[in-house]
Each structure stands twice: as C-alpha cells, then as structure tokens.
Amino acid sequence: MKTILVLNWRDLKHPEAGGAEVHFQEIFRRLVRKDYRVILLTTRFRGCTDQDTQDGITVLRWGATYFFNWQAPFLIRRALKRYPIDFIVDDVNKLPFFSPCFFRKIPCAAFFHHLFGRTIFELAWYPMALYILLFEKLCSLGYRSTPICTVSQSTVDDLVNHGFNRGQITVIENSVDTDLYTPGPADIRKPDLLFYAGRLKRYKNVDIIMDAMKILDDWHHSVHLAIAGTGDDESTLSTHAAKLGLTDRVTFLGYIDEMKKIEWYRSATIFVMPSLKEGWGITCIEASACGCAVIANDAPGLCDSVRDKVTGFLYKNNDAHSLADCINQLIADPARRQSMEKAGREWAMQFSWDNSAERMEQWLLAIAQKKRS
C-alpha cells in the first residue's frame, strides 16, 4: 500500500476549513514522511488552483461545492487513470461518498468525525438539512461492511444508533501539537476573561455565553469575552451582544492565526466551548494543553474531550444558568481553577499527532492486508 486517495469536502486552504481539515493534514502529512503518496480529492473555491501541494500531499480540487458527493465516483475514476491508487479513504464530515459501493476491488475505509443528526437544522437551510439527514440515515447501508474510524466514544454510540456494527468501528482521537500548545507564564492570565475559538455557526451556540454573562451581571460579577473565528452567525452574535448591553465587553477578533490563538489560550481565565455537538472537541484539548481551564456544554464529543470536574466543567446541556454557575465557581476559586489547569495539561499530553498517525497507519495496513487475504 503506497498511494492513498482521501476524499474530503475541503482542503486546509479552503476559506471554511475547520477541525476536520486540520485532522487530515496532521495525520496524512506524517504518512507522507513515511514515504506514502497521499492524494486529496476535494472541492474548488473562489480563486483556487485545480491542483496544489501541501506538506507533500497532492491536492486535486476537482469537485463542486454542492455536488461533490455525486461527482465523487467519476472523479475517482479520473484519478485512477492518473495515479496507481492502492487505498481509498472517505473522510466524512458532511455528506458521505460511498466509495466502497463503487470500488469493490480497492481497499476502502471511512473516517467519520461526527454525525450532525438534528443539529443540522441549526447549520443549513431546511431543504438542505433534510437532504443531509437522509444521507446520514443511509450511511450504515452504504458502509455496511466497511471498516470505520472515528474520534470519540460519543460518535461511536451515534454511529451504532444509526445502524453501524460497533465491531467495525475503531477510535483514534484527535490530537494537538503538545510542543507548540504549552502554558505561558502564570501572570499573563487576564482576570475575568472568557475565550471562544471556532467557526461562528448557529450550532456552535456562542450566544449562550453572552446569556451567561448577563446572568453573571445580575450576580454582580462582570466578565469579558473574546471570540476568535468567522462565520455566517457573526452578525447575529453582534446584534445579540448589543441587545444584552454587552458590546463593550464582547470582542470579535475575526480570524486569528495559530500563534495568536495560543496567546489567547494562555491569557484567558477560562475557555468556553458551548457547541451543541462535536466529534471530539479539539479546541478543548488545545486550551487544556495551554493550561487553560475549560467549560463546555455536556454534549456529544465535548463530554469526551473534557473530564468533568477534573480538567474543567461540563455544564448542563444548553443551560445558560448552569454555564454561569460554572464560570462563577472557577473565577471565585482560583485554587480549584489552577488544579484544573494542571490536570488539563496532563490530560492533553496523552494526545499527540505522531501517535495518532501511527495508529492510523496500522489501521489502514490491517485493512489492506485483510483485503488481500
């Protein structure tokens, strides 16, 4: 097995690239270093080139944004005429590609970051949400005998509930660069500063942080919030901040690079992740690696990446009062917060990209060997 073709809706340079694209890049660039040839088949975006090379990975931007799943079988055949492909991986982060149904002679596997379920209605307009939900329900049929990998036990449970066999699923958690994501000096943390990093989408539920801030005001405890990221919910969030009278205490940072993000992790008192659903919650591990206590929604994925009352708090699902109470507890008790900061760093150290890439390689090799035998 020397040439691996991976299908993903976006590459790392796509304007809407997120955690799934970081995961792909970190894992497969390490496989390139081991002399594997990796080809990413993905979609075009405004101003892009049709072909690119990133960290030794060949990027083919041949797909259309809204039709890539329908185009995929034809584009794979086109790629097969150009490259001697030994393995196909469907990196499923929206609609599935069902490659195993079309290419039975080539070893295939699928990587699921998470299933949207009904949270898709918070992300897409209604007809598109129904369309995605339908395909999620068909996934177990299209990948019935396909080895599956995912990032958390929450997603395993979700896949099983959608008809997958638990025995066909392997868990390889997301990771962080623990040499880069490190704590800074203790005295740079800014008192009463909350931080959020991620895309600004409705399902990320960022407005609940502001609701909690307003509750804290009623409890005579004023806090500030810095929001890093972009997305189509930004204007709604800005309006919500103004409505609550928080404009002077909510800062929209827009897009920030990795080093700036690390600076904010190091300077914030608490990192807050209020998303309705995640595959794993990579930003929670990033914050923990930087020694920042985390408060997250008790939701799928986040309940895997945050150890409740150890590395941070899981507040009651989508409850602003519970979030406010958790924030209040950590701000009022510095000793407990410092204990969580230390435990969070120790927790994050267990998740390295080198280890994840090694496990991914062994998983793919085992599948290829089984296909040959």
What pLDDT, in 10s, does the model give residues 251-282? 999 999 999 999 999 999 999 999 998 988 99
Nearest to 293 by CA among 266, 271, 322, 275: 271
Has residue 326 got a pLDDT over 70?
Answer: yes
CA angle 357, 4, 139 (to 5 degrees): 85
Q: pLDDT tens digits, residue range 132-163?
A: 888 888 899 999 899 999 999 999 999 999 99
Mention every residue, 6+ apart, whose C-beta is less than 8 A from residue 82: none
Nearest to 304 by CA among 93, 158, 120: 158
Q: What is the pLDDT of residue 93?
A: 84
Q: What is the pLDDT of residue 171?
A: 96
**Average pLDDT for 237-246:** 98
d(CA 229, CA 344): 23
| Per-residue pLDDT band at 76 (split at 50, 70, 90) | very high
Size (the chain), residues: 373
Q: What is the pLDDT of residue 132?
A: 86
Alpha-carbon distance values, 116 to 204, 277, 331, 346, 356 (Å): 12, 8, 33, 30, 24
Q: What is the pLDDT of residue 367?
A: 96
Query: Could you tell me whether strands 193-197 and 270-273 are parallel, antiparallel, or unpaired per DSSP bridges?
Result: parallel
Q: What is the pLDDT of residue 1?
A: 66
Q: pLDDT tens digits, residue range 184-215?
A: 887 789 989 999 999 899 999 999 999 999 99
Mention every residue, 6+ apart, whose C-beta is less than 8 A from residue 151: 23, 113, 114, 171, 172, 173, 174, 279, 280, 301
Helix (H, G, I), strand (E, B) or coil at 273: strand
Sheet with 87-92: strands ordered across: 51-54, 57-63, 37-43, 3-7, 87-92, 108-112, 148-150, 169-171
Residue entry with tokens 């993000």? 261
Sheet with 270-273: strands ordered across: 250-254, 224-228, 193-197, 270-273, 293-297, 312-315
Its CATH architecture, for the domain 186-348, is 3-Layer(aba) Sandwich (3.40)
Tokens of 206: 């960022």
Residue 58: DSSP 8-state: E
**Average pLDDT for 38-52:** 97
Same fold, 3-175+352-372 and 186-348: yes
The overall average pLDDT reported for the chain is 94
* Contact predicate 146/109, CB 8 Å: yes
This prediction has a pTM of 0.83
The domain limits of the chain are 3-175+352-372, 186-348
| Per-residue pLDDT band at 71 (split at 50, 70, 90) | very high
Assigned superfamily of 3-175+352-372: Glycogen Phosphorylase B; (3.40.50.2000)
**Average pLDDT for 307-329:** 97
d(CA 301, CA 281): 6
Q: What is the pLDDT of residue 185?
A: 85
| Per-residue pLDDT band at 345 (split at 50, 70, 90) | very high
**What distance, in Å, lies between the first and last C-alpha atoms of the chain?**
14
